[in-house]
Amino acid sequence: MASENENDKPAEMSNAAILQQPLTLPCGKIVRNRLVKAAMYEALTPFGGGPPNSQHFRLYEAWSDGGWGIVLSGNVHVDPRYQGLGQDLIVLPRAKWGAYRHLASCIKGLKPSPSTPLALMQLIHPGRQTPRGNCRFPWSPALAPSPIPMNSGEGWMSTIAYRGIYGVPKEMTQKDIDTAVHHFTEGAVMAYETGWDGVEIHCAHGYLISSFLSPKTNHRKDAYGGSIQARAKILLEVIASIRAAVPSSFCVGVKLNCKDFVKGGIGEEEALEQVRMIHQQGGVDFIEISGGTYELAVFLDPSNPTGKPWFDHFAASASAVLAGDPNAPRIMLTGNMRSRTACAEVIRNGATQLCGMARPAAIDPKFAAKLLDDRVPDSEAITPTYDVKPGSLVKAAPVRVVGVSVQSMYHSFMLARIARGQTVDIRIGFWPLTGYHILSSRDFWIFCAFIAGLTLLGHRAL
C-alpha cells in the first residue's frame, strides 16, 4: 500500500532513511516519520481517575521533543465508572476539557510546525476486565457482551482469584451498547475540540470492543453476536458515530488483535476478515496490530530486546489485504520493536508502514531521535539490554498475569520518574524502583495521613 511519500526503492535506502520518510494518512494528515510512541499505562492520576496533571504535562513534553512521528496517549477511559486500574485518564465534562487542551499543546507545542508529532488520544472501555469496586460499588458488575467471567484457565486458585477480583459481568442491553457508542463518540469530540489530531479506538487485549469481536467472550444471539460481521457491529457503529461527529481531516485509528492467544478466541483468519470489514466501512486511517488479552496476558511476556518483532507475519498479511487502495488504512505494528534495524526491516518488506514502540520510550523518551539520527550506527540504535528481576515470590504466583505484569509495572514506574523530573536508570532493580515510587506517591502520603488521623481520633476518644 503506497503513498506519495513512500520511496519506490526502499531496498536501496539506509535503515535510518527508511524511518525518516513521512507518511500521508487517508485523512490528509502527514506523519513526519515512521516511529510512533505507543500507548502505555501511566498511572499518574489519583485513584478514581481524572484529568491530566502536571506530571502528565512533563512526561508528554519529554516525548514531544523525542523525535516521534506520532505520540499516542495512554488509556483515556470513556466511562469513568469502568476503569482498568483506577489511576487512569478519563473523558471529562466539557467544562473541564482545558487540561486535555494543555496536554495536546505539550505534545504539539504552542506553534505546531512540519516537525511536530501528531497527537492522538487512545480511547478505551475495559469491559469485563474492570475489577470490582473500582470507581463503582463492589456489587455493581462490569459490562460485557455476555456474562462470561474472567478465567485464565490456570487452575482452581486462579479461578477463585479472578472471580473474587472481577466477578461475573453483566450482559449488555441495547441501551448499554448505545451508551458505550455514545461515550466513545464523546471522547473523540473532546479530543477534536481540545486540539488533538485524532483518536485510536482500543479494540484489543480483551477490553470491551475486543470482547465483542471474540467468539470466546461473545455468545450473544442478537444482532451483535454469532457471525464475524455481527460481532464486529459495535466497532463499526463506533467508527461511524465518531466519523459523523468530527471532520474528515481528524485521524481515526483502531487497535486490533491479530489473535487472542486463548482457546476459542480470535485467530488470524478471522482477524484478517475484521481488517477487511474496517476497510470496507471506511473512515479509518490506521490499524495498529497487537494481540492477546489480560485474562492470560501472553503478550506481556518479556522477550529478547534484539529479537524479532511480534505479529509481523499478520501485519504483512493485513498490508497485502489493503494493498492497491491509497485510501486504505495504514498498518502500524507494535510489539518487541527494539532497534532501528528491526523497524526498518518490517517497513522495507512491506509488513507495516508505521512502527509503534512503548517500553523503549519509557526507558528513553528520545529513543526515536536516536533511531532517526544516521550519525548513530545501526549497531548502537537499539534499546539497551536490561533485566527486570521481580524475585521468586512473584514468579511463584499461581496467576500468570501477576508475574508478567511486573514488566508493565516496572515501565510505569519509569514513566513516573520522567514525569517527576527524575533520572531514568535501568540499573535500578524492580523492588528498589517500587519503593522509590511508593515514597514519591501523593496517594501513599494521603493514605498515611488518613491512618494517622484515625489513630489520633481514637486516642482522643479514649
pLDDT in tens, 226-239: 999 999 999 999 99
CB distance 32 to 356 below 8 Å: no
Q: Which residues contact 422 (CB under 8 A, 6 or more apart)?
A: none
Retrieve residue 158's grid coordinates: 486462579
In the chain, pLDDT over 90 holds for what percent of residues? 66
Q: Tell whether the model's pLDDT for residue 306 goes beyond 70.
A: no
Which pLDDT value is given to residue 385? 85
Which pLDDT value is given to residue 201? 98
Q: Name residue 416's amino acid.
A: A
Which pLDDT value is given to residue 429? 77
Q: Which residues contact 308 (CB under 8 A, 6 or more apart)?
A: 336, 342
Which pLDDT value is given to residue 460? 62
Q: Measuring CA to CA, which residue among 151, 216, 211, 205 is closest to residue 180?
A: 211
Domains within the chain, CATH numbers bracketed: 10-433 (3.20.20.70)
Say which range, 167-176, 233-242, 313-322, 406-415, has the weakest mean pLDDT: 406-415
Between residues 135 and 336, which one has the greater pLDDT? 336
Q: Tell whether the model's pLDDT for residue 3 goes beyond 50.
A: no
Look up the pTM and report it: 0.91
Beta bridge partners of 255: 202, 288
